[in-house]
Structures are given as structure tokens and as C-alpha cells.
Amino acid sequence: MKKLIIFLFFSTLLVGTGCQRFLQEDLRGKVLGDAALSTQAGLESALTGTYKGLGNTWATGFLHATSIAATMGGDDVTTLPGGNKAELKEFDTFTVTAGNGRTGNLYSGCYKTIQSANNIINNYKTTVGVAATINIIAGEAYFLRALSYYWLVRLYGSIPLLTSAEFSLDLLNIKRTEPTKIYALIESDLLLAEQMLPNTKRDVGRPNIGSAKALLADVYLTEGGWPMKDQSKYALAATKAKEVIDNHSTYGFQLLSTFAAVFVNDPTLNGTAEDVFVIGANKANGTTLDANYGWSAMPGDIGGWDDFFSEINFFKDFPAGARKDKTFAVTYTKSNGTVLTWQQLVTGHPYYQKFWIKQDDPGAQNYSSSLPFPMMRYAHVLTIYAEAMARSGGPDALAYTCINSIRTRAGLTSLSGLSPADFAAAVVQERAWEFAGERTRWFDLVRLEMVEVANSHRDPAENAIPNPITKANYTFPLPLSEVLANPNLK
Amino acid sequence: MKKSFTKATAFDNQFLRKALIMTKIYILILFCSIYTVKASDTYAQNVRVNLELNNVSLNKVIKAIKEQTEFEFAYDANLDQLILNKVSINAKNEKIDNVLANVLKGTNINFRVIDRIILLSSNVIKETSGIQNGMLLQPQNLTGTVTDAQTREPLIGVTLIVEGTTQGAVTDVNGKFTLKQPSSNATLKVSFMGYLTQIINITGQSRIDIRLNPDVKNLDEVVIVGYGTVKKSDLTGSVTSISNDKFAQQNVSRIDQALQGRATGVQVTNVGGAPGGEVRIRIRGANSALGSNDPLYVVDGFVGADFTLVNPNDIESLQVLKDAASTAIYGSRGSNGVIIVTTKKGKKGSVQFDYQGQIGVSNVIGKFNLLNAADFAQVVNEKNAAIGLGAAFTPANIAGFKEKGGTDWQNEVYQTAITNQHQLTISGGTEKTTFLVSGNYLKQDGIIKNSGFDRYMLRSNLNTQLNDKFSFRFNLTGTSLVNSNNQIQSGTGNPLVQALAWAPTTPIYDANGNYTLNDPVGSLKTNPLALIFDRDLRVVRSSANIVGGLRYEFIKGLALDIQYAVDYRTQQTKTFNGNYATNFSPNASIASLQQVTLQGTNSLSFNRIINEVHSINAVAVFETQQYTANSFNGNSAGLKFPELKYDNLGQGTTFTVGSDFSKWTLMSFLGRVNYAFREKYLLSVSIRRDGSSKFQSNNKYSTFPAGSIGWNLTKEDFIKNLDVFSNLKLRASWGWTGSQAIQPYATQSTYSSIIMAFNNNNLTSGTRLGNPGNPDLKWETTEQKDIGAEIGLLKGRLTGEFDYFIKETSDLLLNRPLPSYAGGGTYASNIGKIENKGWELSIGGTPLNSKNFKWKSDFNISNVNNKVVSLGNIADRIFTGSNVGAAFSTQSEFVYQPGKPLGSYWGLKYLGTWKPNEAAEAAKFGMVSGDARYEDLDHNHVINTSDYQIIGSGIPKTTAGWNNTLTFKNLTFNIFFQGVFGVDKLDYTRAAALIAMGDNRQATLVDIKDRYIPGVNETSNIPAFSKTNQTKAQSTMFMENGNFVRLKNLSLAYNIPLPALGNSASLRISLNATNLLTFTKYKGLDPEASSVGNGTDLNQSIDYGAYPNSKTYTLGINITF
């Protein structure tokens, strides 16, 4: 009896002690605060997270049909007239609304990458570890921030400019920043990146010096055109592209000998030597698989999704040769063995065979693959040099070599003796064919203010464009979420 | 004698024992009353009395004994004079028997001790052979028996008084009585504890059989409330009690089935029709936008229990605490209401066995009417032609389908499901110790192939009285549950959605006998049968809940209770996705979660009636709770041996692992005082102070006060004299409660983990900034006001209860959406205000009550109006979305907007199709006649985001239940209707199958044949196939009325007594039908099912492939002996 009473009171007292400690939040297992980036491993982990914005399948970034949607205003791609492709069709017909989820996917992914990159850039100097590696990490962060802003500024024009990762409620009142300032940051980031990055990519899905220089060359080329129209940038573009060309073997870049080899699309290969920068993919995880190849580019008749296919006149004007043979599928074999021509397809359009997956096993031809997704290839660098030279000093021998190496591979004759303007125009046209469906043509049309002209030459069977195209259609409205959260962005 | 007492076990429960002790009995009782026998001797044997009184009245001695002990005295009014006799007593530490024997020596008074009641009676009666007649030997003119109207058991000790006289009698062990026939116009008043008093005219009668009805409502029923009990008549809060006999007729397998429609103010929605599927339970609406709105479950004192881990067959009673006066005692966890579950205990006496077995058959409640293959092919061709595409099917194809048919995907997906349940309960006890052990096994197949639910449960409840001051209890429950493929899979990964999306022209298998990998015409997504059979999602949960308590009673009415509880839960989620479900990228994973909750509760309670007018019931509690969770997951992709599924994760090519730790603690001080004056004027005041680890510095502690008052009019003479009301009470309450809306670490800015691929061989894990933490977070606070009235008429045959309440939640926690440029995500902030106003009404009656036939009917209805009051001026509206229809819409389907209910639907207003005479107007929109027409709010002739508006509300306003039990001899018939009103459902399932958006490419519903066809059918509001048409799923076109009335249960039970196995042995056979009929305008399969689980209220009525409820027939058998 007494024992029980003693036990009873003892146990009552026991639980009453140590109140303050008892109510302390236990942060075991959480990554937070300064500790997150204080070590090299932590910084590396944050860098991995920085890439995620650009490669989060179905959610953000480039690994699914959002980037092709955004460039659908080009004359190389189009989509279904009805049904479930309404959002893609908005880009094709210049009726993009703020509510279009495809723009949101690219937009939010780029900004998520910018936030993470800002975090690294502002903190890497205090990180403890091997200085050389920390430098590379920071270099990759600069590269990713520049790449993200480059996509944003081209798609939306004036955008919010952030260089800090810190959150405060004041952020909800900021205003847009005009492109000039955005481009200034992109340039300075890439100049830093090329100082900090290594010659050899640390992994397939990472940049090296060559990637940074190539991207910078592309940026300069764009700055030469609409909306900045800073002609002085063409020379810079040429110089920067030449730095890449001169050192291409150091950076591991080369123009593959055949066009077919570029698009062999063998998921076991981890890309090719023509890749300047790719976003890595692995179908082992639902958020890292690449959904741009396969069904997205195939007709429904053979199981595809009809996300995008070639405009009819683009196909018709495309010069015959090895490149055309690889670029488009000529025949389409249904599961029951019936063979169709593109005219016999339900959509009556040719499809991009260059985005089909190499068929090795029965499951290979589907929507998911581990193919790295190229953002830029060495052929881009060659054409940038060629065009930039034509628009600055005039095409030199190297410019002709660059363009002719691509034409030769495509099965076309070499160019020679053109005026700078004709040469530049020829390069731009060459880029349209070489990079058909590769999210290049739209930006060329925009910077050279050719969107209206290019779209005037449409087959009547294409999706009708309801209203005349104006400069307002050169960029897209900011996603609805942004304007709702911050009315100052209106 | 003994035999009669054991028969009466139904009334031998704790409630009535306590009630008896607490109430003085002045009525005429000559002999023992049946429900006082059980616990008797222990107390009388143990208690000791010290008395030294000389030459005082017997009355004084009685008073002295009462002060020292818990004994109550009962005596016949005719002893009034006798107890004034002077007596003397000198007792030192003596047993009550000895004391009384000494005191009463030489008087004409006999005594008998029954439990804590001492009966004094005139010596005239001999107790040797039971009582033959009343205390005053009357000429034997009027005889009769008194029995229980329900059980037909004889009632012993019933008082019969001839009104206006001193004549009376008391029934004997056989319920018999004898009375001198009084003079003309006599009436007899028959009264008995726990029964309704009857007044009977006995003029000229010589024999009369009287049946007494138990007074369940009015008498001193005890209600379990938070941290204590209170007499029902003293209750000032709003509490609904459901005892197990209310749902015993229905073969229930989970608590929600017991609550559904039976508890006023409680909304129970079977959102997932799968076996073991999700259910949403809401008490008086939803108060939190972010947090859970689930009630708090308290099982045998363990706070925060998981109701799915409680076997309903083990339940003694359920108490639903609704108003703040009742729930504020649970402080920061009380705002969603509290459901207190009390499990059964063993009873003293011989061991009782109870076996229940059930077998059931279930089928889907309905199917969509889908196009056959030939019609489908025809429609596809018509569509292609209309939008400028080529024909997908040749005439030969179509002829082939006409001849051979196609695939009926719906038929392929559903099955007839079998359910088995077995339960064995063994209970019993000795004088000091009682036990109850039960085991339950449930195996339930789902109506979707390859889905099911298995459950094993074991419970052991042990109670022991160590001595007269110490008692000890120990409850242990072990549960194991396996959910197989029955989780709600909303959207395109759902076999039901795919069954409506896949073309009937596409075969199930390809030429090689494998699942057809892709559908060239219909869906973009996976073959529905591959989703069923080439995938496996198994959730295995095991739990142990252990509650041990020790109670020590210092002196009468003052007790200390120490209770510790351990709740241990593990969950293993195993997934497998095979070749055909993943397009040859097979993967598997196992995620384990271990949760441990420790609880310590120390309570000091005090109960006393002072001077017979002031009743005080007080409790003070110190409680701590600590929750820890550890999780681990391993994922394996590129399985080399897919057939091994998740059982050999090492045989993959790419792996990822993860783990997490989470912990919170809660420390609480609380107290309550209930005061009643003459049982008429009631007052209750409580306060709780909670300290939580989830908050920083200033916000760590919060205080939750509450108060309530009541007026028990039944106890007032002016009401008593009316002789109309058996119960009439008015009550009002006010209080504050908190909610569990905030998860641990919400005040911290933590990094989240991601997986990235830098090449095709590896996955790399990384971190990035998650949602920014808000260090200023605090609890949401809900202020609730309630007024209520209880009424009982016709001697309790008709009862009613009405409540009106207003709940206002301030500091409402909202996830403020952050723009993507700021990193996206959300910022949790206490910025809003929300209001729930409503009323509840329950009416119970016994319209028919004859010897062989009885009809009991209970109806309840409750109404809640939910409204967002403020969003703290951060925006006109805040969007929120489930992403259920990710493929249909890029706009959030739901919005918070001041003045509108939580999570109102956001969408376009559909105005039907453009008609032929509207072609000119349509052209302004770039449309043609036959295209879908939407309200153009800004009149700019463009339908875009600025034309979206609030188009409905998914929160039901009114719910009702009507339960009827008809008893005819041994047959019991139960019919139970449930109704839900004032709700809109967004039917994406139908939208997907009709207008073919997102991952659906073609319409599959028969309705598409009735579309607008230029020149043919120009009145239809189903849009035509056209190049310009854009049909939006997120519009009023698919906003449907979700009201329904459902015949939830119909059962017939037959009781067969089995005297060969003992008196209480019986066999019951029952036949049950669930969800037999549904009356609704809803065009989907099931108005009750939804694609969003019980976790949120915002998106609650959206339906995109929701797992429908099933029609179930169950045969049950129940043997007790």
C-alpha cells in the first residue's frame, strides 16, 4: 500500500520536471540555416538542387513538352488543332494567356534554379573545402543562373530580377526589370563561369568552360537583335564562338561525321560529343526521365501523343538529303503492320523522326527515356560564329568552313562568295533546318523580327492565327500566379 | 435469488451504479434492487466505521455513517418515526454489518447491505424465502407482476403506492406483488429506479400486469466527457452519446459506420469506397483551411488515437463532444470536436463467449453508359472530319467492330467482391478482477480487381480493484492492417479513369498476349488492366496501443488517477510498377514509418454533494504527450527481376534512399469545475494551458478557457406540476479551442531533398530551399458559442434536442502562395478568419410500443454554413488546388474568397452551346454555332482567366440521418437513411469521358451521340465537334448537384434463445444490405465518393475517378453463451 502511494507521487513529480527542455523543438535530420552550405558536400548538394528546377519532369523545366510549346510560334513546329493540346496551340496561334500552364512550367523552373544559384553564389566564399572544387561549384551556379535568366528574358522580356535567395515579404512588391539589366547580369555571370569552370565536364549533365563560352556567344548574338539591337555584340559573339571552335578538342566538342549519329538517340550512350550542354535524364526516377523523345513526337496513329510535328510548308521547303531523311519519318507503321505516309496520318502532317528513341527492346518506343536533353550543340556554335561574323566583320574563311561543314553533313552543296547579308540570311535558314524542332527557330525569328514573315507562309491546313501578329506576341504574359501574388508586376 | 440477479446484467453497469450512489433514495424500497448486487461485498467488507454515540436518534447515526463512508441509506417512509428512536453505539474500526447489527438490536428494523446502499425495513418481513407480500400486510385483493417492457424480465423491488394513501407494496423476486384492493377510483403509482413511473387506474381490478419502460434519457445516465464523467441531467455542453446497441443491428466494421447518420452534427462521408478506404468525419464543419479538420479521437483516455485501429465491436459507447464547453478541455486540439471512445469491459460472473461471423458480397453501385466499339469508331471519324483530320477507322474496321464488338473496359476493371469478418470475445471476471479479450479478423475484397483490405485485431481489457482505495486498469490493443491497391489514385494513374479513357476499339492484349502498351486512339496513358495487375501498392500497418492506469481514492470523492499510454505504430508502404505500367522501366520501393506516442496523465478529481444542494465535480490534470516519427524509404529502379516486386530491392540498377525524423511535444495543465445547485442550476468552467514544441518563444503557450450554464427546468416544481415534460433543459456555452493545423518545423526554413540525374547511370540527391518558415506562427483559435435545449415528452417516448452554434476561427492559418520568382511554394501565416454557423436537431421517438411490436425512430438533421470572413487583406482571393484535374486545367479549381465557403469552386460559367441564331455573336469570339459558350465577364469577346468566377461550393450544408428499428417478437428490422444536401460536385470523371481533354483523346460516353450536330441536332448543349470549339472541364457544365438520399442500411435480424447453453445464450442471424438505393441527380457513379482524401476540406467534392462505394449484402451470425 505505502509502496503504491510512493510510486504514485513519484511518478506525478517525474513528468512535471524539465518543462523548458521538454518543449524544445528537435531538429534532428533537418538541413537548414548556415550549416547547409558551410561544407563542400553541402554546397555540392545545393548545386544538385540548383539543377532540379531545369529538370523536374512534368513539373518544371525542360524535360517534357513545355519548351517545345514555348517555341511553337516558329514555323518549324505545330500541334493538334483541337483536343487536348489547347495550351500548345495557344503558342502556335499567338493567343497565349497568363493562365497557360506551359509557360508556368518553364518560368517557375528557371526561377527555382535562380534561387538556388543565388544561394550558392552568395555563400560559397565561406564554404570550407577544396578551393578548386568549390570554385567549380560556384562556376556551375553562375552558368545555371545565366542560362535561366537567358530563357526568361527571351520568353517574357521584362522580368523580376533577383540576386538573393533570402525570403522576405518585401519581395512581394518588387517591379519588373528591363532586359538590358537582365542581359548585363547574364553576361557577367557567364564571364565568371568561364573563369571558374573546368575544361572537362564533371558529368554529362554539367557545363565546362566551352559550355559557358558557347552560351555567352549565343547571348551576344541575341543581344545584337530584337529587342536590344546592340550591333556591337555581334563581334563579341564571333570572338566568343571562335574561342570555343579553337579549343573544341580541349572541351571535348566535335561535329559528328553524320547527322544521323547526332540523333541516334541511344539511351545507353549518355549523349554525344556534339553536345555543348545537356540536361541530364534518367528514367529510373519519375522526375528525372526525359519525356521529350518518343511519343511526344509521334503520331497517334502509331501510339504517339501528337504533341508537336512539322508544319507542312516547312517540310516541303526542307532541302532533301541525309539530314532530311533523319529529321522526318517518311513512313509510319501501325501496330497491325499497316504502313502509312504522312499524308495518310490522321493529322496529315510529317513528324520529327529525329526525336524518336532508338528501338532496341519492345518498351523503348514510349514517352520516357534516359536520353540527355540537349540545350545546345556544337553545330550551334559553328552557326553562331558564321552569322556573327557576317553581321560584324563579314564572313571569313572560318565562317564558310563552319557553315559548309554543316551543309556537307546534311548532304547539301557548299556555300561560297555571298555578300555578308546573304551569308547571314543563309546561315539563319541553315539553322532553321539543322535545328528543326530544337527550340532554336523561334528565338531566331524573334531576334531578327521575322516572326510575322515566317508565319505568313503557312499551309491553309495549319492552325489559323486569329489576329495579326505584333511585337506584343514576341514575348508571353507573366504566369497568372505571379501577377496575383504581386500586382506590381501587371 | 442469485439467478435473478445475473439475468439483469444489462443494468449492471458502471453508470447506474454511480448514479445510484450519487442519488438519495427516499422511495419505498423493501428489499434489494437488482442492479446493486455486483460490486457490493467488496466495499462493505473493506470499509471500517468508527462511531461513538450515546442516546442519539437513529437518524443521527445514519448521518454519521454517511459522512464516513460512501453508504447511502434507503428506507420506507413508514420508518420515519422509527428512526427517531434513541440508540447508542460504540464501534471502533468495525465492519458496517457489525455496526448496524448493534445499532438496530432491539428495534423492529432489519437491514441489508447491497453494494453501497443500506436498506432499512420493518422487521415484519422475513427474508428467508423472499418476499411474499408488501410491508403492510394487506388483504390479498389485488395481485400482479411488474416486468421490464423490453426484456420481459421480472422487476424486483418495484414500489407500488395507492395514490393518496399510505398503502403500498413492493414486488418480490418474481416481480409479483399483492395489495389490498383500495376503495373506488383508486390509482396506483408504480415507480422504480431507472424506469419511467406509471400511474395506473386499478379500480375494480383484482389482477394487473404492469410493464415498465426503461427511462434511458431522463434518469441519471452518466455521460463520459473529457477527463471525467457527468450526469446527463447535469450536462451543460453539447454532447451526443451513441451506445453500442444503436449500431449493433448493422454489421459495422469501422467506427465511422457507427457514427454515420446517428450522431447529430457529425458528417461522415465515405470519400473512398474502397475497403478500408478513406472517410471524412467532420463535427460542426471545417474550421481550418490548412490543417486537418478531423475530430480528435480519445480512446480509453489516449488522446489522438487512430479510429481505424479500433474495432467497433469492442466499443461500449461513443461520445461526440461538439461545443466549446465540452472540447476546450482538449485545448489546442479541440476545435474540430472530440470523439471519446470507451471500450467494453468484462463483467463479473461466469465467462461469456460471443462469436460473430459475417460474409458479404459487394458490387459497384453503378456504371457509366459507354459507347460500344463500332459507335465509338464512328464518332471518332465524325470528330476527325469536323476538325480537319483524316479518318481513324475504315468502314471495314467499323464493320468488324459491329460484328465482333470491342473491349468493355469498365467490365474488365470491376469484380464482385467478397467480405469475411469473424469476431470472438471472451469476457468475465471475479469479485475483484474483470477481463475482456477479443479478436477480430476482417478480409474484404474491393470491387476494383486486385484491391482489398485485411485486418487483424486483438484487444485485452483488464480491470482490478486492488483494495478499497486502489484500482488498476490495463488495456492493450494490437492491430495489423493490410491495404492492397485501395488508396485513392486520383487522376490519370487511376484504373477507373483509364477504363473510361481507353478506346473500346483497342484490345486488352497485344498479339503476343501482353497488355497493350498504348492506345492509338483513346488514352495517352497506361492500360487500365496494367494499372491493376502490373502494379502493386500495399500498405501494411501494425500498431499496439497500451493504456495503464492506477486510481487511488484518498477519501470519499477525492481521487488521484495516474495513467500512462504508449501508442506504437508502424507502417510499411510497398510499391511495385511493372513493365507494362511503366513502359519498361520497372521499379519498386518500400517506405517504412515508425511512430511512437507517449502520454502521461495525472488527474485529481473531487466529487461531492454538500448539504444535499450543492453538487461539485472538479478535476485538475497535468498531461504530457510526446510524438516521434522515424521514416525510411528505399527505391529501386530498373528491376532486373520485375517478378520479385518489392521483395528484393537490391536487384535493381538505380537506387535512392531517404529518411526523416520528426518530433513534437505537448505539455498541458487543465482544470474544470462543474457545479449544480439543487440539480436545477448548472455551471461549468474549464481552462487548459498548452505548451507546444512546434512554436517559438512567445507563442509556445496558449490558454483555452470555456464556460457553460444550464437550467434544468424538469427539477422546477412549476414544470413538474405540469406533468408534461420528462425532461426540459436549457443550456448555453462559450469557449476557445485550438486546432492541430501546424506541423512540426513550420517555423523553420528547411531545405527539401530532391533527386537529379546528371547521366543515365546514376541518380544524385541534392537539397534546395523549401518553403520559408514563419517564426511567428501560432495556433488558430476557434471561439464557439452554443445554445441548446433538450426536451422529453410523453414520458420519454418523444425526445428532442436542438442546438444553435457559431464557430469563429481567427488567426486562421493560410498558405500564402509565393510567386515563382521568390522561389515559389507557400508561406504559412496566421492571417485569416473563418466562420461556421449552424444548427442541429435530433428527434427520437417510439411511435409504437406494444407487447409484440415496437418501432423506434431517430431522426437527426444538422446544418452548417461555412464562410471565409477575411484573408487578412493580403489578396482579394487566394487560389488553392488539389491538382486533381492537372491535365484539364492550369487554373486552380478552388479559391478562398471572403464571404464564400472555404474552397469554393473556381471556373467558367457555361451558357450552353452557341445556337444557330447566335452565329454573329459567336463569330465575335471566333466561334461558330455549336461551340461551347461561356460567360464573358469583361465583355472583351475572349474567354480567358479574367472570366473565371466562383461557380459552386463543395462543402455540404445539410446532413440528415433517419434510423428506424422495428422489433416484432424476436425479429428486428432496421432501416436507415442518410441524406446530404447543399453540395456541388465537380465531375471531372464525366468531363474526361465526354469532352476528351488532357490525356483523353476521344469521347467514350454514349451521351456524345446527343451532341450538337449542325443541321441535325441544334438544341443540344453538348458542344459540337469543331475546329474552333474549346470546351472547358472547369466550368458549370460539369458542376453537378451532389445532393443525395441513400438507403444506407437495411437489416433483418432474428434472435433465437438457446436455453440449453444457459439463460443468456442466444443466436442471432442477420441479413444486411448497405447502399441499396441512392436518390440523386449526380451524373457520376457515386455522389459520396471523391478523389481527394479526408486530409483536406477545400477540394472535398471533386470527382476524378473516385473509388465508388459499393452495394453490399451481408449475412451475419452471432452466438452468445
Contact B471, B432 (CB under 8 A): no
Inter-chain touch A49–B749, beta carbons under 8 Å: no
Give the number of A-B residue pairs with CB atoms closer than 8 Å.
309
Place of cell 535561366: A148
Range in B48-57, B419-428, B646-655, B708-717 with the lowest mean pLDDT: B48-57
Of the partner residues B754, B761, B1027, the one whose CB lies closest to the CB of residue A49: B754
Q: Are the Cβ atoms of A86 and B665 closer than 8 angstroms? A: no
The predicted-structure confidence for B819-854, as pLDDT tens digits, reads as follows 999 998 889 888 889 999 999 999 999 988 887 898
Q: Measuring CA to CA, which residue among B841, B815, B810 is closest to residue B827?
A: B815
Partnered with residue B932 across adjacent β-strands are: B913
Measure the CA–CA gap between B709 and B730, rounded to whole angstroms: 8
Sign of the torsion formed by the C-alpha atoms of B226, B228, B232 and B237: negative
pTM of the predicted model over 0.90: no
pLDDT number for residue B166: 65
Q: What is the DSSP letter of B80?
A: T
Q: Which residue has the cell 491497391?
A: B485
Give the residue, B492 or B1013, on which the prediction is more confident.
B1013
CA Rg value for chain B: 34
Q: Please report the pLDDT score of residue B39 as a whole number.
A: 35
Instruction: Express each pLDDT in B218-233 by its tens digit.
Output: 445 778 888 888 888 7
Question: What letters, b where the CB count within 10 A reaches 16 and e where it falls short, cover B125-153?
Answer: beeeeebebbbeebeeebbbbbbbbeeee
Rounded to the nearest angstrom, the minimum Cα separation between B893 and chain A is 13
Q: Nearest residue of A to residue B889 by CA position?
A: A101
- Sign of the Cα torsion B177, B183, B187, B191 reads negative
- Cell of residue B264, nine digits: 447529430
Q: Rounded to a whole number, what is the distance in Å from the CA of A403 to chain B's nearest CA?
A: 31
How does residue B488 score in pLDDT terms, banded at 50, 70 and 90? low
Q: Cα–Cα distance between B890 and B885 in angstroms, integer?
A: 9
Percent of chain A with pLDDT over 90: 74
H, E, C per residue of B440-451: EEEEEECCECCC
Give the closest of B469, B758, B875 to A204, CB-based: B758
Disruptive mutation site among B690, B745, B756, B831 for chain A (greatest number of A CBs within 10 Å):
B756
Residue A358 near chain B (CB below 8 Å): no
- Look-up: residue for cell 460474409? B359
The C-alpha of B5 sits at a distance from chain A's nearest C-alpha, in angstroms, of: 33
Percent of chain B with pLDDT over 70: 89
Minimum mean pLDDT among A403-417, B398-412, B1103-1117: which range?
B1103-1117
3-state class of B284 per DSSP?
coil
Indicate the SS3 state at residue B972.
strand
Q: Which residue of A has its CA nearest to B604?
A: A12
pLDDT of residue B490: 63
**Using 50, 70 and 90 to split pLDDT, how confident is the model at B876?**
confident
Asked if residues B503 and B513 have their Cβ atoms less than 8 Å apart, the reply is no
The tens digit of pLDDT for each residue in B236-250 reads: 888 888 888 777 767
The H or E element containing residue B801 is strand B798-817
Q: How many CB atoms lie within 10 A of CB B867?
A: 16
Q: Report cis status (omega within 30 of 0) of the bond before A227.
A: yes
Q: Could you read off the pLDDT of B577-589 as tens digits, one per residue?
A: 998 888 788 999 9
Direct distance between the N- and C-terminal alpha carbons of chain A, in angstroms, rounded to an integer: 78
- Of residues B653 and A210, more confidence is placed in A210
CB B1068 within 8 A of CB B1003: no
CB spacing of A115 vs B822 below 8 angstroms: yes
Which chain A residues in 457-476 lie under 8 Å from chain B, judged by CB atoms?
461, 464, 466
- Here the cell at position A83 is 483536343
Chain B hits for A119, CB-CB cut-off 8 Å, are 769
**Which backbone phi and psi does B569 adopt, to 5 degrees?**
-130, 140
Asked if the model's pLDDT at residue A372 lies above 90, the reply is: yes
Chain A neighbors of B659, CB-CB under 8 A: 29
The C-alpha cell at A457 is 507562309
- CB contact at 8 A, A383 and A321: no
Measuring CA to CA, which residue among B169, B114, B173, B175 is closest to residue B148? B175
User: B909: helix, coil or strand?
Assistant: coil
Bridge partners (DSSP) of residue B633 are B591, B658
Q: Are B87 and B103 within 8 A, CB to CB?
A: yes
Kindly state the average pLDDT of the residues B398-409: 94
CA A112, distance to chain mean position in Å, is 14
What does the pLDDT average to over B899-905?
89
Count the Cβ atoms, other than its own, within 10 Å of residue B655. 16
Q: What is the pLDDT averaged over residues B445-449?
A: 91
Per-residue burial over B954-982, b = 16 or more CB atoms within 10 Å of its CB, e = otherwise:
bbbbbbbbbbebbbeeeebbbbbbbbbbb
Give the pairing type, strands B266-269 and A55-56.
Answer: unpaired
Q: What is the pLDDT of residue B1027?
A: 82
In this prediction, residues A343-366 reach a mean pLDDT of 82
Q: How far is CA B607 from the centre of its chain?
A: 30
Hey, which residues does B420 pair with through a beta bridge? B359, B443
Taking CB atoms and an 8 Å limit, are A25 and B693 in contact across chains?
yes
Chain B positions in Cβ-Cβ contact with residue A107 (cut-off 8 Å): 820
DSSP state of B525: S
Q: A116 touching B, CB under 8 A?
A: yes
% of chain B residues with pLDDT over 90: 43
User: Which residue bears the cell 485569416?
Assistant: B832
Residue B656: strand pairing partners = B635
Find out whether A473 and A73 touch, Cβ atoms under 8 Å: yes
Tell me how far apart the alpha carbons of residues A406 and B38 are, in angstroms, rounded to a whole number.
101
Strands A373-377 and B72-75: unpaired
The cell for B249 is 443491428
Nearest to A165 among B469, B755, B769 (CB): B769
Predicted confidence (pLDDT) per residue in B1065-1104, tens digit = 889 899 999 899 999 999 999 998 887 766 677 777 888 8
Q: Which one is predicted more confidently, B206 or A419?
A: A419
For residue B371, name the pLDDT band (cuts at 50, 70, 90): very high
Residue B37 amino acid letter: V
- Give the pLDDT band of residue B137 (cuts 50, 70, 90): very low
Q: DSSP per residue over B537-581, as a string? A: EEEEEEEEEEEEEEEEEEETTEEEEEEEEEEEEEEEEEEEE-HHH
Query: Looking at residue B936, what is its pLDDT?
Result: 93
Helices (H) and strands (E) in chain B, counts: 16, 54
pLDDT for the residue numbered B582: 82
**Taking 60 as the threshold, does the pLDDT of residue B1 lie above it?**
no
- A341 to chain B: which residues are within 8 Å by CB? none
The 10 Å CB-count burial string (b at 16+, else e) for B871-886 is: bbebbebbbbbbebbb
Contact call for B819 and A481, based on CB within 8 A: yes
Could you tell me if A207 lies within 8 Å of chain B, comparing CB atoms? no
**DSSP codes, B459-474:** EEEEEEE-SSSEEEEE
Per-residue pLDDT, B247? 77
How far is the C-alpha of B1102 from the C-alpha of A91, rounded, in Å?
Answer: 30
Cα B88 from Cα A449, distance rounded (Å)? 120
**Which of B696, B759, B827 is facing A280, going by the closest CB pair?**
B759
Among B102-106, B404-408, B910-914, the minimum mean pLDDT is found in B102-106
DSSP letter for each residue of B849-878: E-SSEEEEEEEEEEEEEEEEEE-TTS-S-E
Query: Smallest Cα–Cα separation from A59: which of A87, A101, A114, A88?
Result: A101
Give dist(CA B458, CA B444) in Å, integer: 18
Distances (CA, A) of B986 to A384, B4, B82, B953, B1099: 52, 61, 78, 9, 10
Between B145 and A416, where is the model more confident? A416
| Closest chain B CA to residue A489 | B819
pLDDT bracket for residue B717 (50, 70, 90): confident
CA separation for the pair B975, B961 (Å, rounded): 11
Each residue's pLDDT tens digit, A32-88: 877 889 999 999 999 999 999 999 998 899 999 888 999 999 999 999 876 667 788
